[in-house]
Structure 1
Amino acid sequence: MSNIWTGRLKRILPQLVRFACVTTLVLGVKLGIVWSLGPVLNPYVAYFITHLAIFIVSYVLHSKVTFNSALGWKKAGVYLKAVIGIKILDYLIFSVALVYFEINSLVAVLAATALITILRFMFARKALSA
C-alpha cells in the first residue's frame, strides 16, 4: 500500500513544486494589482478587478508551467468551472477579513490566498492535467 502512495507522490511532487512557484508569482501580481488600485478604488471593486486579471494570468501560467497543458478556449472554460467556486470563496474570505477583522487589504489578500491554496491546486490539477 505504501508503494502506491510513494508512486503517486513522485508523480505529483514536481507539479506541486511548480504550482508553488507559479502561485507565488501570481500572488505577487495579485498584491501588485490590489496595491495599485487600492488608493483609487473601493477595496472590494479593486479585488474583483484583480480576480479578473489573475484568472487570465493564473490560467496561462498554470497551464504552461505547472501542468504542461495546451492553451485553448475550451480548456479555459473547464479551468473557469473548476476554479470559480474557489474564486468566490477567496473573495468571501477577503471580505470577512476586511470587515470583521478590520485588516489592511493587502493582508486580507495574503490571508485569503493562504487559506485556499491547497484547494486551488486540487481543482486546477483536475481541470488542466492532460
Structure 2
Amino acid sequence: MLALRQWRGRPKGDALPALPKWMQAIDTVTFPVALGLGFLLSALNPKNLIMAVGAGMSIGSASLNGGAIVVVIVVFTIIAACTVGVPVIAYLLAADTLRGPLDALRGWLVKENAVIMAILLVIGVSMIGKGLASF
C-alpha cells in the first residue's frame, strides 16, 4: 500500500518533486548535524529497516553455522555501506572531477525518488515474505 502511494505520488512528466525541508538544507549542514542526520536516515528509515529485517530473516533461515553467519553479516554490511561510502570517498579524493556527475545523479535521484522508494519497499517486503516462508 505504501509502495503504491509512493508510485502514484510521483511527479508527472518533467515536473520536479517538492523536496522536504531537511533535503533543501542538506548542502549547508555542519559535520555533527550531518552525522546525526545520516544516522537517523539510515538506522530509522522504514525502507532500510524493512531491508535489514528481510536480510536478517534470510540469513537466519539459511541454517548456517556461527562463523558463516558472521561472514554473511559482514559482507551484507559492507555491500550496504558501499552505496554511501563509495561516492563519499570518491568525492573526497576527486571532488572537482566528480562534482558534475554527482550533481547529475543527485538530480536524477531527486526526480525519481518516489519510484526508487516504491521499488525498494517492494523488494524489502518480498525479502521478509521469503524469510517468513522459509520458517
TM-score bracket relative to the smaller structure: 0.3 to 0.5
Higher-helix-fraction structure: 1
RCO higher in 1 or 2 (8 Å CA, sep ≥ 6)? 2
| Larger Rg computed on CA atoms | 2
| TM-score (norm: length of structure 2) | 0.38
